[in-house]
Every structure is written in C-alpha cells, then in structure tokens.
Amino acid sequence: MSEEKHVLVTGGTGMLKGVVRYFVEQGNTVSVVARNKEKLQSLSFAFRNLPGTVHPIAIDYTQTDDFIRRISQSISHFGPFFVSVNWIHSTAPHTPAALLQLQAHTSPGSRYVQLYGSAFANPERKDDDRNTYIKECPHIHYQEIILGFMIEASFSRWLTNREICEGVINALLASSSERKIIGTVSPWSLRP
C-alpha cells in the first residue's frame, strides 16, 4: 500500500492488535474501535513512531446507533474505508448489518471483513447472513473469516493472537473474498 488509506478495525486492542500494527506500518490511518479507553490510548502510544496513525474510537459496539454515528464521524474526518476488519460478537446482533450498510453507502468498492468464532462453523448451525449481505451490498467485497482451533498431537487448542493476526493478514492479501477458516473446525468433536 503506497498511499495512505483509511482502515477500520473493530476490536483492535486485543487479539487484532497485530492487524492494527500491520496497517499502521503500511502508513495508513487506522480507526480502532474498542470499549476500553485506556487500552486505546496504550495502543496509540505503542504505535506512535510507525508511519501511519491510530485514530482511537472508544465506543461499545452493542450500542448500534451510537457506534454507527461515531464511525460516520470517522469517515467524514478521514475519508472512506479501504477495508474494515470487524470482530463483533453476537451480543450486538444488528451492528454488523448496520456497519455494512454504512460502509456500502460511504465506501463503495471497499472490503468488509467479519470475523466469527468457531461456533459459527457448527455443523448444526442453520442461519447464515452471507448471501443476504452480498445481495444487499453488491458494491462491497464481503468476506467472512472463521477463527477455528489447532490440533497438535493428541489435543486441540485455541488459536493464539499471533496465529489469528497472521491468518487475517494473509486473507486480506489474497484477492479472493471466499470464506476463510484460520486453523480448522473439524473434526467438530475436537473443538477445545
């Protein structure tokens, strides 16, 4: 990435901190959403000498209207998103669709990446919004990344933050918008 672009990372002070670093190292403006103001300040301070900038947004994404208002302000100030990477839990069931609609309206041609926990891959799970999102927002490159687990010898374990970030970055570098699984989700019986 040679020119500065605006990136959104929702949930960027925890396991996605390495993704934020990646984008800041590329010289981008990264709007980072988290609930904890101190963690956001710490993140901004830690990355202050890198080529890009961190724009902290302290907001609880479960408050969908407030969240969308703050993200809209960020877009107004820094421009449309090139990509958004979003770790939004099911405790905020309306937020992903609202953010996707906002991004489709303000940042056509951009990429929207939604991360899901391994439960999303449960073989018994029936609901899937992917086709609805793709149909409703045809000018957005919608991608899902499922965070699986690792099998080592006779046991399984959850992914490390580093493995998650490397997997997300690799998915972003790929031109495909296909659903990506980091680690594995099968056999389901070995899920930690």
Q: How confident is the model at residue 1 (pLDDT cuts 50, 70, 90)?
A: very low
Mean pLDDT, range 99-118, rounded to an integer = 94
Distance CA 135, CA 42 (A): 39
Q: Residue 151's domain is classified under what CATH number?
A: 3.40.50.720
Mean pLDDT, range 120-126, rounded to an integer = 70
User: To 10 degrees, the CA torsion angle through 126, 130, 132, 138?
Assistant: -170
Domain carrying residue 11: 6-190
User: To 10 degrees, the CA torsion angle through 111, 68, 131, 178?
Assistant: 30
In a domain, 30, yes or no: yes
In a domain, 67, yes or no: yes
In a domain, 166, yes or no: yes
In a domain, 45, yes or no: yes
- Exposed/middle/buried for residue 60 (C-beta within 10 Å: 0-12, 13-18, 19+): middle
In a domain, 13, yes or no: yes
Distance CA 139, CA 110 (A): 8
Q: Of 146 and 1, which is predicted with more confidence?
A: 146
pTM to 2 decimals?
0.91
> CA end-to-end span of the chain, whole Å?
37
Instruction: Render pLDDT for 126-166 as a digit per residue (tens, 0 to 9).
Output: 666 666 676 777 788 989 999 999 999 889 999 999 999 99
Reference 147, options 57, 85, 96; nearest CA is: 85
Instruction: Render pLDDT for 158-192 as a digit per residue (tens, 0 to 9).
Output: 999 999 999 999 999 987 767 899 999 988 888 89
Instruction: Render pLDDT for 48-66 as a digit per residue (tens, 0 to 9).
Output: 999 999 999 999 999 999 9
Tell me what pLDDT residue 82 has: 95
Q: How confident is the model at residue 124 (pLDDT cuts 50, 70, 90)?
A: low
In a domain, 1, yes or no: no
Q: Which amino acid is at 121?
A: A
Instruction: Render pLDDT for 65-106 as a digit per residue (tens, 0 to 9).
Output: 999 999 999 999 999 999 999 999 888 889 999 999 999 999
**Token digits for 1?**
């990435």
Number of structural domains, the chain? 1
Instruction: Render pLDDT for 8-64 as a digit per residue (tens, 0 to 9).
Output: 999 999 999 999 999 999 999 999 999 999 999 999 999 999 999 999 999 999 999
Distance CA 173, CA 171 (A): 5
